[in-house]
Amino acid sequence: MGMLSSKETPVIWRGPMASRLVQQFFSGVVWGELDYLLVDLPPGTGDVQLTIAQTAALAGAVIVTTPQAVARTIAEKGLRMFQPVRVPVLGVIENMSSFACPHCGETTNIFSTGGGEEVAQDLGLPFLGGVPLDPRVVVAGDAGTPTVVRDPGTPAAVAFREIARKVALEVARSNQAERGGVAESVRVEGNAVVVRWHDGPEDRFGFEHLRNHCPCATCVDEWSGKRRSLTLLLPTNFAPKKLVPVGNYGVQIHWNDGHETGIYSHHLLRRLARQREEVTSPAG
């Protein structure tokens, strides 16, 4: 966003404004035909990260860490954030893993070594590689030419190419992985919401049943997790007005009585379907 304003104008936005801009970038920009769309996220687990996970069906996320021990905690938080929203974490990259001298070509470990590999091992993730500090990366960036094109033989360029190869491989593996717990489609059919799962079966949910299990903060106390006692006066023609996919993990239902804050995760819908099966199955 800083590129779209003048050099003297800082971008001072609160979370909701940044979130709306992110949504506009994903839904209102004609990107054309792409192999990959890479999104460089700020550190942390805030509004922007959550908005992206809810707006786009992400192929995966890459955790970028540094050799310092404190970076491990940050990497773990990033992993924990992506798990509940069902974004596959493809692996770990260690930035500033060493220093590549542009004069003699020698690579020196100026920080501790092996931190990125340890983080990947502890989190059960692939280690995608380390990127050394190299002044030529800065020069190439300022010139507008990728370092893999300008200086293809440097340690940093070699590292970038190898990391790109591994990321592409992990994306392919993730796409082929079992996705039985993820909805392939959600639609309204007659008087029910029908969910078709990637592993084949379909589940039908009555409108009132879904509304009575709305997980939003209006319907469920956020601290206790208990459902609030609400008197619902539903119109006779009560039905979903719109179904909005939420990332890889759920669907937001806009009801025609104005209630539209509930995000029904795929996990919740699976659980509701299992509970119904347990009630209707004859006792063994």
What pLDDT was estimated at residue 18?
80
Burial of 140 from C-beta contacts in 10 A (0-12 / 13-18 / 19+): buried
Q: Can you list the residues of the chain whose pLDDT is less than 70?
A: 1-4, 177-181, 230-232, 278-284
Answer whether 98's CB lies under 8 Å from 132's CB.
yes
Whole-number Å distance between alpha carbons of 159 and 165: 10
What pLDDT was estimated at residue 281?
53
What pLDDT was estimated at residue 56?
84
Answer whether 182's CB lies under 8 Å from 86's CB.
yes
Amino acid 280 reads T
Instruction: Write the pLDDT tens digit of every residue in 246-276.
Output: 888 899 999 998 999 899 998 899 999 988 7
CB burial string 253-265: b at 16+ within 10 A, e below: bebeeebbebbbb
pTM value is: 0.73
What pLDDT was estimated at residue 269?
93
Q: What residues contact residue 24 under an 8 Å CB cut-off, 6+ apart?
A: none
Whole-number Å distance between alpha carbons of 69 and 83: 22
What pLDDT was estimated at residue 7?
73
